[in-house]
Structure 1
């Protein structure tokens, strides 16, 4: 191939060129200065540094107002448009079957609705305790309820498609969820057949520092009742995905050892449950990776004793060594300390065909790193419904310098128009990313 022809192909198909050359090894790590739409990364378990290869640093850029005319950066051929602002900690976004977009305005304790026809977001329900997850039941075109996960319970509201206000008072479905501590978000999703309600509950600590140890007999008894790797003490019922029937009955652990699954999604072709997960801090700039992964029933993902497979957390001094070979390795490893939150799978038709079925994950951004990372939306590259392990920068430009930023992405959803909608809670805005006309 001649150099002239290769140059022409790179101009006509930059995403193809990037797809062939994801950053791997140490090059897959880095900070915000390397971010731009189209850059791909592939982090493998063998790429991880040793614990404490760098100091653990607590630092985070200051939030400033969005500079005048500043827009997020998106791939060529796309445009980003501001659709709502002035919101108080906007977080999860979910699209109702009729096209209305529901928003958990967590800081205001309410659920809002962005009507598919436009206009200011309406208040669907208020007086909630840090609402986060939203789901529609039953699955399909005509849901009768909107489920909302508060930090200590799951409730549901009567709903008819098009409602801008709840059709009745909240009914408690699951009460008494573990709460308190640093991880207050509770996401929810229904299985494709509507028979299972999934509830994510993050840990009450960074690395299980207050759990203590049990005797082997006590461990065996506990795990017999709560599942392999289920945490105890102040972490009981946490660092896990729980499941119940749609009416809240039969609550139990679905999968354990997942430090903070802040985003749940159902992969449409397989029906598999996926988690976007915040891993632990304190082991250095590039350890351990955050991740997005399919979650199997009965699976154990390592927290707090192991990370990314059989890697022991040195702070637990060899505890639970018998679990070493039973840890499930996540599907997609993400730059450590990126703080993945919301996720979705693209089922629209407005984006190019190669986006169909790919995942999108909002990265809220780091605090435990020398140079900032995260603060962007990335695309999980899938093939035939299976993850390739690589991800690609899709929406960047929220960081202004090592010391300042104006946006922290949280929620992602596909609108009925095929655009991607993104919430960010630093300046309280919602954005639409669509194909340029």
Structure 2
């Protein structure tokens, strides 16, 4: 039976100083590593030149290299994640059923996609600052809800929710904690095979919405044959490099107007864009990328990337630029020079989930404009990666390719974990909220005097 979600008021826990080795910059082969190398402040820079050759391609490219699902346990007594010196962590909510995406309403209320419970919950703004309240169900009976978006962004009249099978919207006025009416279907009949996480984003002018739709397979190893002429005609309506068969309109980001009209593919070749956001002050869409699983422990890098309209990011034919997938050797040589390289390459198999840019002043000045991303953690790698929150360093609004560990410590040993970071949001007061879908918890991270 599902537990009732609760919000807790716990004393802040200021954590140990960052270990000295955490200031290292790891490059080349040393940048890949495992959970044992993680600590707040550890920096990595992975480039396309660092990628090893494919090593584990099998006769069945849909089969995983390893199956090493973690044993999830309760948080050890008094255990909190590790964060950099000067930061503190507080538990503000727990007992949720797989909380994933977090989005902040204009009034500061925290909307949480409770994917395991089929609900969208609201944690009152005051509760995240040390109060106590029971989250309210804004909407229920949804198929694995994930993405949440307020529309229009500044004075919303609707809350859009992307469930696994459809995008719906609910009537809303600022401050509502219960939907004013039933769901209105905006995009229906989204296929749900394999990747089901559908995130949402709204353009700065409010004229366009975006939804991510992941692939139906690992690498589309079996697709019906098409002639060159048929492929050319297909791509005119579906985008460069788009796959077909059961993968039609999969591994894409789609764009649509607020009424659900004019739905089309905005970008292609994104195997599973689990999280999306608009970079503040720009019209640039960003997404997190979960890459394929069958090419070895250090292939293929997950990533964070800006998403260009009409851009092609490789799946299933190529990865990380013009690296051909062995499952499709020689099939689409015409695409080799059209593949966009993601902006920030991450440790492979880390299952990066949500991304948010830090645009407040509560953290030290050097954090402003940087991006945070969650890594839910590997399940198919012999030595675990992920299970942390990372910070991608930006310079003048552009990615440097460098990222560093920000929140770690969820892995207890090679088999056991107590948390899987998934959702992210920046609260109005500048605190960072992080959801853990393994133990149904929401953490609040503050710095110095921020309470």
TM tier, shorter chain?
over 0.9
Aligned residue number for residue 405 of structure 2: 393
Q: Structure 2 residue aligned with 1:131, among 130, 145, 158?
A: 145
When the two structures are superposed, what TM-score results if normalisation uses the length of structure 1?
Answer: 0.94
Are the counterparts in 1 of residues 146 and 162 from structure 2 also a CA contact under 8 Å? yes
Aligned residue number for residue 145 of structure 1: 158
Cα drift, residue 402 of structure 1? 0.5
Cα 1:356–1:15 shift into 2, 3 Å: farther
Query: 1:91-115: per-residue Cα shift (whole Å, max 9, x none)?
Result: 0000111111100001110000111
> Map of 1:34-433 to 2, 5 A cutoff?
34-52=37-55, 56-118=65-127, 119-140=133-154, 142-177=155-190, 179-433=191-445
Cα 1:320–1:54 shift into 2, 3 Å: closer
Structure 1 stretch displaced more, 293-302 or 262-271: 262-271
Query: 1:287-313: per-residue Cα shift (whole Å, max 9, x none)?
Result: 010000000000000000100000000
Aligned residue number for residue 32 of structure 1: 35
Are the counterparts in 1 of residues 388 and 407 from structure 2 also a CA contact under 8 Å? yes
Are the counterparts in 2 of residues 90 and 105 from structure 1 also a CA contact under 8 Å? yes
Q: 2:126 aligns to what SS in structure 1?
A: coil
RMSD (Å) for aligned C-alpha atoms: 1.7
Number of equivalenced pairs: 422
Q: Distance in 2 between matches of 1:213 and 1:385?
A: 43
Q: Distance in 2 between matches of 1:15 and 1:193?
A: 44
Are the counterparts in 2 of residues 282 and 368 from structure 1 also a CA contact under 8 Å? no
Q: Which runs of 5+ in 2 are unaligned?
A: 1-16, 59-64, 128-132
Q: Which runs of 5+ in 1 are unaligned?
A: 1-12
Cα drift, residue 436 of structure 1? 3.3
Q: Distance in 2 between matches of 1:313 and 1:250?
A: 33
Cα 1:109–1:228 shift into 2, 3 Å: same
Cα 1:358–1:17 shift into 2, 3 Å: farther
Are the counterparts in 2 of residues 289 and 334 from structure 1 also a CA contact under 8 Å? yes
Cα drift, residue 168 of structure 1? 1.1
Cα 1:54–1:317 shift into 2, 3 Å: closer
Cα 1:272–1:16 shift into 2, 3 Å: farther
Structure 1 stretch displaced more, 41-50 or 345-354: 345-354
Cα drift, residue 226 of structure 1? 1.1
Are the counterparts in 2 of residues 61 and 404 from structure 1 also a CA contact under 8 Å? yes
Q: Distance in 2 between matches of 1:16 and 1:270?
A: 37
When the two structures are superposed, what TM-score results if normalisation uses the length of structure 2?
Answer: 0.91
Query: 1:168-210: per-residue Cα shift (whole Å, max 9, x none)?
Result: 1111111122x23220111011011111110000000000123
Aligned residue number for residue 7 of structure 1: none
Are the counterparts in 2 of residues 182 and 204 from structure 1 also a CA contact under 8 Å? yes
Query: 1:194-249: per-residue Cα shift (whole Å, max 9, x none)?
Result: 11110000000000123233110110010011111111100001000000011111
Are the counterparts in 2 of residues 270 and 385 from structure 1 also a CA contact under 8 Å? no
Q: Distance in 2 between matches of 1:322 and 1:16?
A: 48
Aligned residue number for residue 9 of structure 1: none
